[in-house]
Each structure stands twice: as structure tokens, then as C-alpha cells.
Amino acid sequence: MSGRYRNSTYCMKVSMSLTVAENDTDLCFNSKMRFFEKAELSKNKDITCPSIDDYVQPGAQPDIVWYKECKPKQWRQTVERKRDTLSIKDVREDDIGNYTCELEFGNFLVRRTTELSVT
């Protein structure tokens, strides 16, 4: 988005690139903007909600909601949600897919999607 942006505690003129991408049809993410992770069958895997530091107050616990394929999921007992991490114990083939983490930032929702492949 074009415009002037200013940090209220520190001012410095910089140039940066910004990419704005619409979600794919019927999805909560843009498939070109995903992160990628690999897991091994029957091993443990942690999926972290990436690049959210700028949206979390220092010292605060982020309130993150996790989705699989953009839908709320009833996680099995071997899947734990801890802070910004989804921990999968004993990875299975049906764990393959897109995992989206979501947190509120003011009036906005911040989403990050990670595609998990399993070998």
C-alpha cells in the first residue's frame, strides 16, 4: 500500500518493497506465499508460525489459532498447540497439507501458511 509510514519512537527514511497478494479462490492463503516444511513418518515435527515478531507485543503471549486446509480442526491428542508452535508427535500421512496460523493485530488478522510434506 502506498503511503507514509512512521514509527512513533524512531524516524528514519528508508525504502522497502511490499508485495500484496490476494488469497487463492476459496482459500485463506495465496499458494505463492507459503512456507514449506518436511516431516518424516512416525517422527515428531514442530511447525512454527513464521515471521510474526512484528505483530506480537514484547513479553506477550500471542493468541494464535491454527487451521488445516483453512478449516478449524479438532486436533488429535498427539498434536499440541504451544504458543506459536504446532507440535505433531508421530507424524502420519494424513498430516500432509497446509497449516495456517492466525493472530489478531489491531483490527487486522495476520496469517501465515506452511505446506507440510511427509516422506
Question: Which CATH number characterizes residue 52's domain?
Answer: 2.60.40.10
The full DSSP string for the chain is --S----SS------------PPPTTSSS-GGG-EEEEE-TTS-EEEE--S-GGGS-TTPPP--EEEETTEE----TTEEEETTEEEESS--GGG-EEEEEEEEETTEEEEEEEEEEE-
Q: Which of 103, 9, 111 is nearest to 56 (CA)?
A: 103
Summarised one tens digit per residue, pLDDT across range 20-44 is 889 999 999 999 999 999 999 999 9
Q: What domain count does the chain have? A: 1
Q: Which of 4, 37, 38, 5 is nearest to 119 (CA)?
A: 38
Q: Do the domain assignments include residue 44?
A: yes
Range of the domain at 76: 31-118
C-alpha cell at 102: 492466525
Q: Do the domain assignments include residue 14?
A: no
Q: Do the domain assignments include residue 110?
A: yes
Q: Do the domain assignments include residue 21?
A: no
Q: Do the domain assignments include residue 7?
A: no
Whether the model pTM is above 0.85: no
Q: Do the domain assignments include residue 23?
A: no
Q: Do the domain assignments include residue 6?
A: no
State how beta strands 79-82 and 85-88 pair.
antiparallel
Q: Do the domain assignments include residue 73?
A: yes
β-bridge partners, 36? 115
Summarised one tens digit per residue, pLDDT across range 57-107 is 888 888 999 999 999 999 999 999 998 999 999 999 999 999 999 999 989
Sorting pLDDT into bands at 50, 70 and 90, what band is 17?
confident
Instruction: Evaluate the CA torsion angle 50, 56, 60, 65 in order and state its sign.
Output: negative
